[in-house]
Structure 1
Amino acid sequence: MLIVTESDTRTTTTPAGVMSALAGPSRGSHRLSTWRVRMAPGAASPEHVIDRDQVWMPVSGRFEVSVDGEEAEMAAGQAAVIPAGAVRRIQTGEGPGEALVCMVPGGRASVVGQEGTVPLPWAE
């Protein structure tokens, strides 16, 4: 068994939120990556695509989720299963939000309207 603790060296801050890596290939989990996402009130990701299925599990706050044009809200006690290749956008409401996210390692993301893909360092 391995207990993983968040660290500054494995935390990434973007305009949308703060992603803190937990389990992943660099931390002993070869088939699953997990991380914690913290988003400020009213924060939103850009519309983007990830080439892996993801599961978002809110632990606090509310999230507005758009997947391929379908809109839904979710909160603690729920999970959103977002398929690989879907155009997605995640946004918090009036308060902050925190979620745990998991997916198969090695994913890449692309922002709608921009060329190329980038790795997800918090999922490695």
Structure 2
Amino acid sequence: MYVVSETEQRTTRTPAADVFALAAPSQGSVEIATWRVEIGAGSATPVHSIDREQVWMPLSGVFEVLVGDRAERVGAGQAAILPAGAVRRVVAVGGAAEALVAMGVGGTAAVPGGESGIPLPWAQ
């Protein structure tokens, strides 16, 4: 058994969100990567895709999750399952929002029409 705590060394801060790495291969997990994400009020992730299925589980606030041309709002007590390869954007609406996210280990991001194969440091 491993117990993993958030650390500043495993925290990624971007203009859109703060990502706090938890389970990952570098922390003893073989199959699943998890992290906690905080997105500020009115902030959004860039439009991107991930090559792994992700499950977003809001802890507080509300997220609008856009996948392709579909938009859904999710909050605490719900989960949004985002398919691998789907072009997506996640927006905090009505205030800051926080979620736990899980996916298979590894994983890379791509920006439509731009860079691909970008490693996700919190999933390594």
TM-score range, shorter chain: over 0.9
- Indicate the SS of the match to 1:26: helix
| 1:63-87 alpha-carbon deviations (Å, 9 max, x no partner) | 0000111100000000000000100
| 1:4-44 alpha-carbon deviations (Å, 9 max, x no partner) | 10000000011110000000100011100000000110010
Q: Give the C-alpha shift of residue 113 in structure 1.
A: 2.7
Aligned residues: 124
2:45 corresponds to: 45
TM-score by length of structure 1 reads: 0.97
For 1:89 and 1:31, the matched residues in 2 are separated by: 25
For 1:91 and 1:113, the matched residues in 2 are separated by: 21
Taking the TM superposition and a 5 Å limit, the aligned residue runs for 1:52-63 are 52-63=52-63
For 1:113 and 1:40, the matched residues in 2 are separated by: 26
Stretches of 4+ aligned residues off by more than 4 angstroms: none
Higher strand share: 2
Identity %: 54
1:85 corresponds to: 85
State the Cα RMSD in Å. Answer: 0.8
What 5-or-longer segments of structure 2 have no aligned partner? none
TM-score by length of structure 2 reads: 0.97
For 1:57 and 1:92, the matched residues in 2 are separated by: 13
1:32 corresponds to: 32
Greater displacement, 2-11 / 109-118? 109-118
Q: Give the C-alpha shift of residue 112 in structure 1.
A: 1.9
2:112 corresponds to: 112
